[in-house]
């Protein structure tokens, strides 16, 4: 009696999986014993699509199938994964009533594994802006706190201003180094008093 296979591989029963393997046994290295091992584990369509060479060949696993046989079974699994992807795309296009924009067939691998580089670029840009704003906040807060007069404790931890040339970049570097030291040691607290 001919077995009718559902188009959706995920809906296959263990009997469908067994029959599928039996239909391909003549062109493969695996044998009836390997099919029996898979069937004994009640491998249905969803489980069959998730099989890997490691799962099939694992000595401590339920299958313990030889490597060559496992490779042939995995090749069949990969074909079914492609078939399932095409089935899913066909269902999606029929449900959404999407008309193909070209006569070119949609390749499942491209449809399933696209990376949105705009999201990555936006995330990196946001992180850089956050760092710039963070450092700008540190620099401006120090200038506002001591009005560049050296009245607060962090001025004491900086090198003597007379020995260093006066420049905005030098002062900024001193402030950044002070804050890094403060954050690492956490022994000096930022003053919050009135001016």
Q: Is there a contact between 8 and 90 (Cβ–Cβ < 8 Å)?
A: no
Question: What gap in Å lies between CA 60 and CA 116, rounded to an integer?
Answer: 40
Which one has a higher pLDDT value, 12 or 173?
12
Tell the CATH topology of 9-112. Answer: DNA polymerase; domain 1 (1.10.150)
53-107 residue pLDDT tens = 999 999 999 999 999 999 999 999 999 988 888 887 777 677 666 555 555 555 5
Under a CB-based contact definition with an 8 Å cutoff, are residues 86 and 112 in contact?
A: no
Average pLDDT, rounded, for the chain: 75
Model-wide pTM > 0.85: no
User: pLDDT tens digit string along 56-69?
Assistant: 999 999 999 999 99
For 7-38, the pLDDT digits (tens) are: 899 999 999 999 999 999 998 999 999 999 99
Is 114's pLDDT higher than 50? Answer: no
For CA atoms 23, 84, 71, 110, the dihedral sign is positive
**Alpha-carbon gap, residue 39 to 126, rounded angstroms:** 52
53 and 71 Cβ atoms separated by less than 8 Å: yes
Domain ranges of the chain: 9-112, 117-185
Residue 194 pLDDT exceeds 70: no
């Amino acid at each position: 009696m001919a077995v009718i296979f559902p188009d959706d591989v995920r809906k296959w029963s263990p009997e469908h999986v067994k029959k599928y393997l039996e239909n391909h046994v003549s062109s493969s290295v695996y044998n009836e014993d390997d099919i029996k091992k898979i069937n004994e584990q009640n491998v249905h369509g969803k489980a069959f699509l998730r099989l890997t060479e490691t799962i099939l060949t694992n000595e401590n696993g339920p299958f313990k199938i030889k490597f060559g046989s496992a490779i042939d079974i995995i090749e069949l699994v990969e074909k079914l994964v492609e078939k399932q992807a095409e089935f899913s795309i066909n269902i999606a296009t029929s449900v959404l009533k999407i008309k193909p924009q070209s006569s070119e067939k949609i390749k499942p691998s491209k449809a399933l594994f696209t990376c949105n580089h705009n999201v990555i670029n936006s995330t990196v840009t946001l992180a850089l802006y956050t760092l710039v704003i963070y450092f700008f906040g540190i620099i401006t807060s120090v200038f506002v706190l001591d009005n560049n007069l050296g009245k607060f404790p962090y001025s004491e931890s900086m090198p003597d201003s007379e020995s260093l040339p006066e420049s905005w970049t030098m002062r900024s570097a001193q402030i950044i180094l002070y804050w890094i030291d403060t954050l690492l040691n956490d022994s000096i607290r930022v003053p919050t008093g009135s001016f």
